[in-house]
Amino acid sequence: MKTDLLLFGARRPLSLPSNRLSWIQRTTADIFRVPHQPDYNNVNQNVKDFLIFLNMVSVLLIQANNRIGGISEEQLRSFSSLQTLDFSNNKIVEIKMDSFPALPLRNLFLCNNRISSLELGWAANLAGTLQVLELSHNRISSIPARLFQLPNLQHLDLSRNQIRRVEGLTFQDLPTLRSLKLQRNRLSGLMDGAFFGLSNMEVLQLGFNNLTEVSKGWLYGLEALQQLHLEHNAISRIQPDTWRCCQKLSKLDLSSNHLSRLEESSFDGLSLLDQLHVGNNRVSFIAGGAFRGLPNLQMLDLQNNEISWTIEDMNGPFSALEKMKTLFLQGNQIRSVTKKSFSGLDELQHLDLSNNGIMSIQANAFSQMKNLQQKNILENRQVQFKNFQSFISGLHFLFLFDLPKPKITVQPETQSALKGTNVTFVCSAASSSDSPMNFSWKKDNEVLNDAEIHNQAHLRAQGDAGSETEVTEYTTTLQLRNVDFSAEGRYQCVISNQFGSSYSTKARLTVNSIRTLTHPFPCSFRRDQPACGHSQLPVLPGDSG
């Protein structure tokens, strides 16, 4: 047996990697005796002298290419001073109640084995000292309640297992736990109170699972949480009041999920948040007050979403983020940048607008950002400037190309309508390009995907006599039938071609109803009729009736 023995100082580590060990018996200790000056060239002659050192070993590494298939109390009893035990990269399949004797163990590494079960009470002899437990890369599929009764444990790694569900109160016996790793499992269900009892936990890693929503139910009890990693899940919804239970969060990673909307309540209560990652989602709608509750945010990642309309048309979507220093917006199909796009971001230092195909930048769009650096702002067209600050402060209007994008010629008009009637909004735009046009309508900044829309095009002449040119004028009509009060709102048309989008003004629709008043008939004295009758007559809004 080729053995690697490492002895250091008074507390000696013992390393036995890259062997073919399949078990360790207590009787094995009787043949390990090494003299004060061990001869490593002739281990077989000295193993009988090794026993006197076993109770001084503080670190035991039996990892990498061994064949350990199980652990029992007798195997480890002689290591009375053991503080770190590493059985990683073996073939252990289960942990039993009698696997560990009473040892002063602080760190236990069981990574990359074949463990599928741990018996209840398996850690009873380690409860007083164990601080770090790593069980990653195993075959654990469920976590019974009270499986981890370790009142001093600070770090627990259960990543890369096969766990599908975490029930309520699963971790209630870990009051000092500071970090929990559950990434790369098969988690699809986190029940209410799943992490209750972890009142000191600071880092929770749940990335690369199958979670579909974030709710206050499973976050309940995480008052000290500072970092929450939820990247690479299937999250499409953040429930209202979700963050009430973890208001100390400084980092939230929601990247690579299925979010399509950021509501006003999406991040409510996260006043201490420093970093927010929402890149690589499907976000196409950002409510006006979505970031209002994030006064301390310094980094926002929104890359690779669908928020071109937010940047091009919204009035100060990031205006509440007065302390923000870094903003990632690459890959959002942004074609134009206006001054209102970044209003309020006076402290911004890094802005990434790459991979957008930006065609135009409005005058002074970046002038209020005195600390803004050049990098990645104009990588869309690889335009470089020797004095970037002079450029952005003195810019009147920059066209990177001559833009035949649509120009609105007829704006939709504000209207009032009676409940139950039909309403039509009309919007027209002209373009000198034969590029295909796309038409859409929005209500209160949200796209109307199933609306009744009619589009048409015709040629018209423009210019003076003798120098007339033909341009194509496009008209889009939004038809609302049998309207009710839910149809009230602000309507806007968006007409786009490959060179950019044009946004109409927002037309308001108000819906009124027909009220009825009771009018008495003249009094009658005939015996076969009531003394007075009543009739219901329609009264339009504004009637004093």
The residue with tokens 């209207």 is: 415
Residue 44 lies in a domain: yes
Instruction: Between 249 and 30, name the one with better pLDDT.
Output: 249
* Residue 341 sits in the same domain as residue 433: no
Residue 533 lies in a domain: no
Residues 138-144 have a mean pLDDT of: 97
* Residue 307 sits in the same domain as residue 399: yes
30-34, 83-87, 93-97, 416-420: least confidently modelled range: 30-34
Residue 544 lies in a domain: no
pTM score of the predicted model:
0.79
The 10 Å Cβ neighbour count of residue 275 is 16
The 10 Å Cβ neighbour count of residue 80 is 14
Residue 545 lies in a domain: no
* Residue 389 sits in the same domain as residue 433: no
- Of 101, 98, 90, nearest in space to 121 by CA: 98
Q: What is the mean pLDDT of the chain?
A: 82
- Which residues, listed in sequence order, are joined to residue 179 by a DSSP beta bridge? 155, 203
What tens digit of pLDDT does each residue of 344-370 get? 999 999 999 999 988 888 888 888 888
Instruction: Give the C-alpha distances (Å, rounded to integers) separating 109 from 120, 231, 370, 525.
Output: 19, 26, 51, 102
What tens digit of pLDDT does each residue of 443-499 get? 998 889 899 999 998 887 776 666 677 778 889 999 999 999 999 999 999 998 887
- Kindly report the CATH number assigned to the domain that includes residue 51: 3.80.10.10
* Residue 361 sits in the same domain as residue 391: yes
Q: Which structural domain, as residue segments, surrounds residue 217?
A: 143-258
Residue 249 lies in a domain: yes
- What integer pLDDT is reported at residue 24 of this predicted model? 43
2-16, 89-103, 185-199, 229-243: least confidently modelled range: 2-16
On the question of pLDDT at 384 being above 70, the answer is: no
- Kindly report the CATH number assigned to the domain that includes residue 429: 2.60.40.10
On the question of pLDDT at 56 being above 90, the answer is: no
* Residue 124 sits in the same domain as residue 154: no
Dihedral class, residue 12 (left if φ above 0, else alpha if ψ from -120 to 50, else beta): beta
On the question of pLDDT at 385 being above 50, the answer is: no
* Residue 292 sits in the same domain as residue 395: yes
pLDDT confidence band for 28 (50 / 70 / 90): very low
72-76, 158-162, 294-298: least confidently modelled range: 72-76
Instruction: Between 2 and 122, name the one with better pLDDT.
Output: 122
Residue 134 lies in a domain: yes
* Residue 381 sits in the same domain as residue 422: no
21 Cβ neighbours under 8 A, 6+ residues apart: 1, 62, 66, 67, 68
Residue 522 lies in a domain: no
Alpha-carbon torsion, ordered 57, 58, 64, 66, to 10 deg? 40
* Residue 424 sits in the same domain as residue 493: yes
Select from 99, 122, 139 the last residue of a domain: 139
On the question of pLDDT at 423 being above 80, the answer is: yes
Residue 121 lies in a domain: yes
How many structural domains is the chain composed of? 4
CA distance 435 to 432: 9
On the question of pLDDT at 545 being above 70, the answer is: no
Half-sphere CA count of 522, side-chain side, radius 13 A? 3
* Residue 438 sits in the same domain as residue 492: yes
pLDDT confidence band for 516 (50 / 70 / 90): low
